[in-house]
Amino acid sequence: MAKKKTAEKALNIDNILFNCRDILRAARNSGSFFEKRDMMLTLVFLRFIGEKYEDGIKSLRQTLMEQGLDPEDGNIKAAFFDDATFTDGTYNLPFEARWSTIINTPAPGLNVALDTALHSIATSSKDLKGCFIEGTFTARNLGANDIKKLVDEVNKISHKAFGEEKDLIGRVYEYFLKEFAVNATKEEGEFYTPHDVVQLIAAMIEPYDGTLYDPCCGSGGMFIQSAALVKSKQGDINKVNIYGQEKDAATYRLAKMNLALRGLSHNLGEINDSSFTHDLHKGLYFNYIMANPPFNLKGWYDENLKSDVRWSDFATPPESNANYAWILHMLSHLKKADGVAGFLLANGALNDSDTLEIRKKLIQKDKVEAIIVLPRELFITTDISVTLWILNQNKKGGNYHGRILRNRENEILFVDLRTWTENPVKGENKKKVRLVTGQIEKAANIYHTWQSEETDGTKYKVPELYRSVAIEEIETKGWALTPSKYIEFIDHDLEIDYEGEMARIQAEMKEILEVEKKSQQMLEDAFRGIGYGID
């Protein structure tokens, strides 16, 4: 039994990352949080890409042998292995960039070996160029013992055990945010969207084919989880073309690493930059948009944005908060005929006074399809209350992924999931909850059933959970999109029948008194029977 526990511990990603964190904390010259994070993510990247290469070579050898060819033959080696090509996103690596080369390098030469590997990859692969900073390890120059211990720990991380269906690079990123980033905020790009939240958005809007865009793509987690959903539902991720943009340089590199590891074709632009001041995909329109923009972002505005075409039909978003700038930016990139967007915003955006005119026009133009308030404490780095918005360019109905949708014009679906907190995440430093598969499916079903041609929107409601609301009613509430203004909440105290309850209590008391009276009478009779008087 003890051996089994030891084996399980060895395969626990948090234990491995905890060890790495302690090595970096104690090491001389390990640098800032960002430098520690970059070293760790680059090591994990080299580990994963190296392991995929080794798996690819092993599979290639097996295929050749099945075809009656000898993988050890010189001509066969030259033809198939010297410049191997793979069809599953595996990258051919030069000898010096392979993990087997790195892990067998003596400790004193590891820093140089790691940077040699990075340089070799950057010069031999256009797709992988820009995923990391060359010179990362020699610049920090960790002691031989420290870098050796770090590499040995990372060697325990295997995509076979941890990363086949999960965004493992994102998981490592999230861990180091929790453990190192005291001052890392969403405004700095240091924020990670939990898997369950991404799965909820993807399950709602179903980005199965066409183009998918994220204007603040972070570590690329939205793309990774969407790809997993596409594979589970449709099987062919090649039907989805990925576009994204990220302002933070380190996070931009992280996203490129993440997507490269998954073999996902993508266009994140040639550089990192702001989607507001330098839209790298200007003029492009997308089938789907999924995003988790920085909440209540300040400092986004530039004087050149005053008359920007993205909000010319609405109003210029307030300089103090970018929430509605994100909304209008995404709307400007949705395909006019049938584009759908699912994104997260802080709850304040539902009824901000300084964005009233923009919100009013969004509703009047019938762009808002659904508002879903999520449980608190879904995120590790903040417990702010969050809302999932869904915009839809086509509420008229028709065929959508095999479902026949009804006309939902001038209706908005409101859903309140704040009470879905029954699944706590164990082992976290702060309270955190998660949405399990059954809950995600239930929420998506609420939305999809509302869209269905068999549904009467005027009667679609369940108290304390959801309700379909006509735009005319929203106007009477001052164009607020706060679900609690529309969903019926039951005062459970009013369900009590006070008169009946009092009658029941009185009857019970009367019965108790009668029993006590009978008991007292029997006691008196008993005493008299044996000759004692009762005063």
CA–CA dist 269, 266 (Å, integer): 9
Q: What amino acid is encoded at 183 in this protein?
A: N
Nearest to 185 by CA among 274, 35, 318, 296: 296
Residues 440 and 203: beta-carbon distance below 8 Å: yes
Q: pTM for the whole thing? A: 0.80
Length of the chain in terms of residues written: 535
Task: Give yes or no: residues 528 and 441 share one domain.
Answer: no
pLDDT digits (tens, 9 = 90+) for 429-448: 567 889 999 999 999 999 99
DSSP secondary structure of 114-135: HHHHHHHHHHH-TTTTTSS-TT
Task: Identify which of 288, 196, 290, 169 has the alpha carbon closest to the alpha carbon of residue 239.
Answer: 288
Sign, CA torsion 336/337/339/340: positive
- Calpha distance 193→176 (Å, rounded): 14
Residue 485: CB partners within 8 Å, gap ≥ 6? 477
| Model pLDDT, residue 181 | 41
- Structural domain boundaries, residue 334: 186-485
User: Is 344 domain-assigned?
Assistant: yes
386 and 293 within one domain: yes
461 and 514 housed in the same domain? no
Look at residue 170 and tell me if it is in a domain: no
Is residue 177 in some structural domain? no
Q: Taking a C-beta distance cutoff of 8 angstroms, is the pair 334, 391 a contact?
A: yes
**Same-domain status, 529 and 445:** no
Among 182-196, 272-286, 373-387, the minimum mean pLDDT is found in 182-196
344 beta partners: 388
**Angle between helical axes of 249-262 and 221-233 (0-180°, round to 10):** 20
Look at phi and psi of residue 358 and say left if phi exceeds 0, alpha if psi is from -120 to 50, else beta. alpha
The answer to whether residues 235 and 210 touch, using CB atoms and an 8 Å cutoff, is: no
Average pLDDT over residues 104-108: 96
Q: How many structural domains does the chain have? A: 3
Residue 497 lies in a domain: no
Q: Are residues 239 and 128 in the same domain?
A: no
What pLDDT, on the 0 to 100 scale, is given for residue 30? 83
Do 320 and 378 lie in one domain? The reply is yes
Within-domain flag for 247? yes
What CATH number corresponds to the domain at position 33? 1.20.1260.30
DSSP 137-177: HHHH---HHHHHHHHHHHTT--IIIIISSS-HHHHHHHHHH
Say which range, 30-34, 94-98, 384-388, 426-430, has the weakest mean pLDDT.
Answer: 426-430
Question: Does residue 359 sit in the same domain as residue 420?
Answer: yes
CATH code, domain carrying 287: 3.40.50.150
Is 452 within a domain?
Answer: yes
* Residues 93 and 213 reside in one and the same domain: no
Instruction: Compute the distance between CA of residue 273 and CA of residue 469 in angstroms, rounded to an integer.
Output: 39
Task: Say yes or no: 277 and 333 in one domain.
Answer: yes
Claim to verify: residue 416 and residue 268 sit in the same structural domain: yes
Q: Is residue 494 part of a domain?
A: no
By mean pLDDT, which of 201-215, 252-266, 385-399 is the weakest? 252-266
* Chain center to CA of 273: 22
Same domain, 479 and 513: no
- Does 174 fall in a domain? no
**Cα dihedral 507→508→513→516 (10° resolution):** 150
SS3 state at 266: strand
- Say yes or no: 198 and 141 in one domain: no
Report pLDDT for 8. 36
